[in-house]
Amino acid sequence: MSHSSVDPEASDAEPGSAGASSPTPAFSPLYQQIKGLILQSLQSGEWKPGAAIPSEMDLAVRYRVSQGTVRKAIDELAADNLVVRRQGKGTFVATHAEHQVQYRFLKLIPDNGDVNSEGPAQREIIDCKRLRASADVARALALRTGDAVLQVRRVLSFSGVPTILEDLWLPGGPFKGLTAERLSDYHGPMYALFEVEFGVRMVRAEEHIRAVTPDAAQCALLKVKAGTPLLSVERIACTYNDVPMELRRGLYRTDTHHYRNELN
């Protein structure tokens, strides 16, 4: 089986080198090229979530580069939460089923700061239906207006208190067969369900946050009074290569919780 390789000379080329008859194109650093090749293998499913990837030495042989170059590429993948290093065991494809990853995309924290103090969220699926994408949903998911999407509405409660109301839109093709029953029966994180049963791994998300007041239906689901200020969080989550796979609009109660984001 042949594998992609890169040209180590290319990354060392300097613009305007002596003897050059024309400007030299800008090349990405060699480790970035290796990172891109590893990403291709992750995207194709060669290495599944939770599985070990080849050792740095094996990858260096595969791509015909130094082990140090591979290590730098994996350092970046680990910083992006795409792989996880385990001391003495190797490097593994990150998975949303891991406890430390479960809270990566859930930023609402109890005011005491302990995410484990109230146990896992209780989830109630209000609705799950297939429909045609509106213009704004299609734009967010890089679809065409009218394409099939799946819309899910759910409520997350902590210690019995409804705290988050979420509406999600998913492209119909990749999530064919997703039903309210499957969502209700799966007890792990939703993103773990997506990755295990549908082969879709969310690796990056962009959020827009603002303060809003809920409508009557939203008040009823969150059991708050009319006029109660809520935090509105709109998220577009992407799989590898920035392909959008989810539009999520959430309303968060912040009377006992706060939104925590760590900036690096």
- DSSP character string of 190-231: HHHHHHHHH-----EEEEEEEEE---HHHHHHHT--TT--EE
Which whole number is the average pLDDT over 171-196?
A: 90
For residue 183, what pLDDT band results from cuts at 50, 70 and 90?
Answer: very high
Determine the pLDDT at residue 104.
55
Residue with tokens 């939770």: 50
For residue 98, what pLDDT band results from cuts at 50, 70 and 90?
Answer: low
* pTM flag (> 0.75): no
**Which residue, among 241, 150, 230, 137, has the nearest Cα to 190 in the 3D structure?**
150
* Spatial distance between the Cα atoms of 231 and 229, rounded to a whole number of angstroms: 7
Which whole number is the average pLDDT over 100-112?
A: 65
Task: Quote the tokens at residue 101.
Answer: 């990853």
Q: pLDDT averaged over the chain?
A: 84
For residue 166, what pLDDT band results from cuts at 50, 70 and 90?
Answer: very high
For residue 199, what pLDDT band results from cuts at 50, 70 and 90?
Answer: confident
Q: Which domains does the chain have, with CATH numbers?
A: 10-93 (1.10.10.10), 99-259 (3.40.1410.10)
Determine the pLDDT at residue 248.
96
Secondary structure in 3-state letters for 102-159: HCCCCCEEECCCCCCCCCCCEEEEEEEEEEECCHHHHHHCCCCCCCEEEEEEEEEEEC
For residue 17, what pLDDT band results from cuts at 50, 70 and 90?
Answer: very low
